[in-house]
């Protein structure tokens, strides 16, 4: 059995046809991944689907993603699409019936900030950016109920575009994959973990307004609808790089608007945030971390309907309440014991927070609360020791810890995240949208940690075979 066969087997969790060959871990780690073979096998297996059937999920609490709840209702899907949803529906007599007995359905999550392909669970680097690893990361998101993932600025484009195309062709499942090229000052861009990698493929440098505009035009002509721009220089760390100046990002933002390209800016200070919003930026990776947000900022954020990915998981690792992944059994689904042991032995517990750090952490929580109607989900997983899919649930918990209600946290992580990038097909349970949803054994409106009580995940109307994936991921090599 080759690595190729693994994906075709496990991806095919269908509603009627849910039997699977056991797959071994050595198949997964083999790097000689031959795509054409998976596709051939996927086509054969695909014929077993009963594509025309309707599927009726009854007796469920339906949390729609926009703030509405149907306490006891039905969801009707066919193929990849939600056909109808409501308290009582006209159900075709031949629809396949599922009595959910009071379980809760939420839309699959939409994660707008992660870095796919580099993480190898025990090691990390550009050498792991292969078709196989990238696809594995899509399935890891799907396993934890993330239906859509935007990978921001660190993808190797030949591989990434090949995987994306094959997913659009239906040959690869997992979370819906969106990639966004990165822009930054020459030599700048992501954190040193990436830029110190000898094979880092770099970002698209922007050096003056005209060149920056041409870069955006080129990316638009290549079909990219989303791009990331790093504003920070990170000079203190790396020396020579310069910060992207307002003349350049204004040019990027204006040109992107002309091409309907959505820019998301990495910026961490209040001053940069204000300047960027005034230049036309509407999406941020990171919120202002340096000081309390003020009325001037809140005013322009509200007037311009700005979306903000706060990446709380990244900034709370020194907090006394932080629980490292290796201590959380919910993470154990995706790694063997040896990885847990290695994370444990490499861990340095945080020192007691200084008075300044404590004050700053209160500021962060206050900022998040004031910005709560603009918050969207993003984890930065794959870049800084946060793990795919699992980190999404950590982030949801942090949203609520810092003052959002569970409903606000769910809206932020589903419909608002989708809106921020014009992903009109996902992020809500609504007739006509994609059948991407998560069935939970407990109500997340009672406790946000109940998003972890996953019974089943469906993406494109297909059940994700979580058990097979868990077996693969937890096996030692
Ligand atoms: Zn990032």
What is 225-245 written as a DSSP string? -EEEEE----HHHHSS--PPP
Is 58 domain-assigned?
no
Task: Please state the rounded mean pLDDT for residues 4-14.
Answer: 38
Question: Is the backbone of residue 305 left (phi > 0), alpha (psi -120 to 50) or beta?
Answer: left
Distance CA 324, CA 343 (A): 9
285 Cα: distance to centroid of ligand 1 (angstroms) = 7
Q: How confident is the model at residue 50 (pLDDT cuts 50, 70, 90)?
A: low
Mean pLDDT of 450-473: 97
Ligand 1 centroid from CA 386, angstroms: 11
Q: Could you tell me the distance, in angstroms and rounded to a whole number, from the CA of residue 277 to the centre of ligand 1?
A: 20
Q: Which residues of 106-135 are buried (b: 16+ CB within 10 A; e: fewer)?
A: bbbbbbbbbbbbbbbbeebbeebbbbbbbb
Least confident among 47-51, 84-88, 171-175:
47-51
Section 82-99 average pLDDT: 95
Ligand 1: distance of its center to the CA of 88 in Å? 43
pLDDT tens for each residue of 289-334 = 999 999 999 999 999 999 999 999 999 999 999 999 999 999 999 9
Q: 325 CA to middle of ligand 1, Å?
A: 19
Tokens of 35: 């795509």
Confidence band, pLDDT 50/70/90 cuts, at residue 337: very high
What's the gap in Å between 180 CA and the centre of ligand 1? Answer: 11
Average pLDDT estimate for 121-139: 96
- Rounded to an integer, the average pLDDT of 98-127 is 97
pLDDT at 13 over 60: no
Per the listing, tokens 């609360």 go with: 369
Q: Using the mean position of ligand 1's atoms as its centre, give its distance from the Cα of residue 190 in Å.
A: 7
The answer to whether 276 and 284 have CB atoms below 8 angstroms apart is: yes
Residue 189 has a pLDDT of 83
Q: How far is the CA of 97 from the centre of ligand 1 (A)?
A: 42
CA of 354 to the centre of ligand 1 (A): 26
Distance 193 CA to ligand 1 centre (A): 11
Distance in Å, CA 115 to ligand 1 centroid? 6
311 CA → ligand 1 middle, Å: 9
Distance 230 CA to ligand 1 centre (A): 10
Paired residues of 183 in beta bridges? 204, 229
What is the Cα–Cα distance from 303 to 405, expressed in whole angstroms? 23
The secondary structure of 242-291 as a DSSP string is -PPPHHHHHHHHHHHHHTTPEEEEE--SHHHHHHHHHTT--EEES---SS
Euclidean distance between CA atoms 232 and 268, whole angstroms:
8
Instruction: Kindly state the DSSP code that residue 181 receives in the 8-state scheme.
Output: -
- Phi/psi at 158 (5° precision): -65, -45
Rounded distance from Cα 315 to ligand 1 centre (Å): 12
Ligand 1 centroid from CA 379, angstroms: 8
Instruction: Indicate the average pLDDT of the chain.
Output: 89
DSSP assigned state of 365: H
CA of 129 to the centre of ligand 1 (A): 16
CA–centroid distance, residue 384 to ligand 1 (Å) = 8
Tell how far the Cα of 161 is from the centroid of ligand 1, in angstroms: 20
466 within some domain: no
pTM, whole model, 2 decimals?
0.90
CATH number at residue 119: 3.20.20.140
**Residue 238, pLDDT score:** 53
227 and 218 Cβ atoms separated by less than 8 Å = no
Q: Could you give the count of Cα atoms lying within 13 Å of 129 in the half-sphere of its Cβ?
A: 22
Highest-pLDDT range among 161-170, 181-190, 194-203, 232-241: 161-170
Per-residue pLDDT, 239: 54
Q: How confident is the model at residue 240 (pLDDT cuts 50, 70, 90)?
A: low
Domain residues for the domain of 222 are: 107-420
- Is 473 within a domain? no
| Ligand 1 centroid distance, CA of 119 (Å) | 13
> Confidence band (pLDDT; 50, 70, 90) for 196?
confident
Cα distance between residue 283 and residue 215, in whole Å? 19
* Distance linking the first and last C-alpha atoms of the chain: 16
The pLDDT of residue 44 is above 90: no
In the block, residue with structure tokens 């083999």: 30
Domain-located, residue 93 = no
Token output for 8? 């075709």
Residue 333 falls inside a structural domain? yes
d(CA 387, ligand 1 centre) in Å: 13
| Distance from residue 380's CA to the centre of ligand 1 (Å) | 5
The pLDDT value given to residue 237? 52
How much distance in Å is there from the Cα of 5 to the middle of ligand 1? Answer: 32
Tally the domains of the chain.
1
Q: What's the CA-to-centroid distance between 109 and ligand 1, angstroms?
A: 18
Cβ-contact 19, 12 below 8 angstroms: no
| Domain membership flag for residue 247 | yes
Residue 243's pLDDT band (cuts 50, 70, 90): confident
- 281-290: per-residue pLDDT in tens? 999 999 999 9
Residue 384 CA, distance from chain mean position: 14
Has residue 438 got a pLDDT over 70? yes
Distance 383 CA to ligand 1 centre (A): 6
Would residue 38 count as lying in a domain?
no
The pLDDT value given to residue 46:
39
Q: What is the mean pLDDT of residues 105-117?
A: 98
What average pLDDT does the segment 338-362 reach? 93
Distance 412 CA to ligand 1 centre (A): 18
pLDDT for residue 9 is more than 80: no
Q: What is the pLDDT of residues 134-165, one digit of tens each?
A: 999 999 999 999 999 999 999 999 999 999 99
H or E segment and range at residue 313: helix 312-315
Q: What is the pLDDT of residues 200-229, one digit of tens each?
A: 887 899 999 999 999 999 999 999 999 999
| Residue 430: closest CA among 66, 180, 25 | 66
Q: How far is the CA of 338 from the centre of ligand 1 (A)?
A: 27
Per-residue pLDDT for 30 more than 50? no
DSSP per position, 3-17: HHHHHHHHT---SS-
Mark out the alpha helices in 322-443 (DSSP H runs): 337-345, 355-370, 390-401, 406-413, 415-420
Lowest mean pLDDT, pick from 238-247, 344-353, 453-462: 238-247
Residue 82 has pLDDT above 50, yes or no: yes
Contacts of 154 (CB under 8 A, 6+ apart): 115, 116, 117, 118, 182, 190, 194, 382, 383
pLDDT at 220: 97
DSSP label at 460?
Answer: T
pLDDT of residue 3: 38
Q: Is 401 exposed, middle or buried (0-12, 13-18, 19+ CB in 10 A)?
A: middle
Query: Does residue 394 form part of some domain?
Result: yes
Å from CA of 25 to ligand 1 middle: 29
> Is 23's pLDDT higher than 70?
no
Q: Which two tokens stand for residue 30?
A: 């083999």
**Whole-number Cα distances in Å, 385 to 73, 143, 154:** 40, 19, 15
| 381: pLDDT strictly greater than 80 | yes
> Rounded to the nearest whole angstrom, what is the distance from the C-alpha of residue 151 to the centroid of ligand 1?
9
């Amino acid at each position: 059995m080759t690595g190729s066969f693994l994906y075709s087997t496990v991806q095919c969790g269908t509603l009627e046809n849910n039997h699977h060959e056991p797959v071994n871990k050595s198949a997964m780690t083999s790097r000689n991944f031959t795509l054409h073979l998976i596709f051939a096998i996927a086509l054969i297996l695909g014929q077993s689907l009963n594509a025309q059937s309707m599927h009726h999920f009854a007796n469920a609490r339906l949390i729609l993603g926009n703030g509405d709840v149907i306490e006891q209702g039905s969801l009707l899907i066919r193929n990849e699409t939600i056909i109808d949803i409501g308290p009582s529906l006209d159900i075709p007599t031949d629809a396949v019936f599922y009595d959910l007995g009071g379980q809760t359905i939420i839309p699959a999550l939409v994660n707008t900030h992660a870095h796919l392909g580099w993480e190898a669970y025990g090691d990390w680097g550009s050498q792991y950016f292969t078709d196989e690893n990238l696809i594995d990361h899509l399935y890891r998101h799907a396993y934890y109920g993330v239906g859509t993932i935007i990978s921001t600025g660190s993808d190797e484009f030949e591989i990434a575009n090949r995987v994306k195309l094959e997913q659009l062709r239906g040959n690869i499942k997992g979370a819906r994959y969106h990639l966004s090229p990165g822009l930054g000052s020459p030599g700048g861009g992501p954190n040193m973990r990436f830029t110190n990698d000898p094979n880092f493929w770099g970002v698209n440098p922007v050096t003056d307004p005209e060149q920056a505009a041409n870069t955006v035009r080129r990316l638009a002509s290549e079909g990219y609808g989303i791009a990331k721009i790093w504003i920070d220089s990170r000079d203190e760390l790396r020396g020579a790089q310069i910060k992207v100046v307002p003349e350049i990002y204004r040019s990027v933002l204006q040109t992107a608007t002309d091409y309907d390209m959505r820019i998301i800016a990495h910026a961490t200070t209040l001053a940069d945030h204000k300047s960027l919003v005034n230049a036309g930026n509407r999406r941020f990776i990171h919120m202002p971390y340096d000081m309390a947000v003020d009325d001037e900022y809140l005013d322009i954020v509200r007037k311009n309907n700005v979306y903000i990915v706060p990446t709380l998981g990244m900034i709370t690792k020194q907090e006394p309440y932080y629980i490292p992944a290796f201590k959380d059994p919910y993470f154990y689904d995706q790694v063997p014991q040896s990885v847990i042991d290695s994370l444990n032995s490499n861990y340095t517990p945080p020192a007691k927070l200084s008075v300044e750090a404590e004050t700053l952490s209160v500021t962060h929580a206050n900022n998040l609360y004031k910005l709560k109607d603009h918050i969207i989900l993003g984890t930065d997983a794959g870049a800084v020791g946060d793990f795919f899919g699992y980190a999404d649930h950590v982030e949801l918990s942090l949203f609520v810890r810092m003052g959002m209600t569970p409903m606000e946290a769910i809206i932020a992580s589903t419909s608002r995240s989708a809106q921020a990038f014009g992903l009109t097909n996902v992020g809500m349970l609504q007739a006509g949208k994609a059948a991407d949803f998560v069935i939970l054994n407990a109500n997340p409106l009672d406790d946000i940690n109940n998003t972890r009580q996953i019974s089943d995940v469906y993406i494109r109307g297909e059940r994700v075979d979580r058990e097979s994936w868990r077996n693969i991921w937890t096996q030692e090599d």
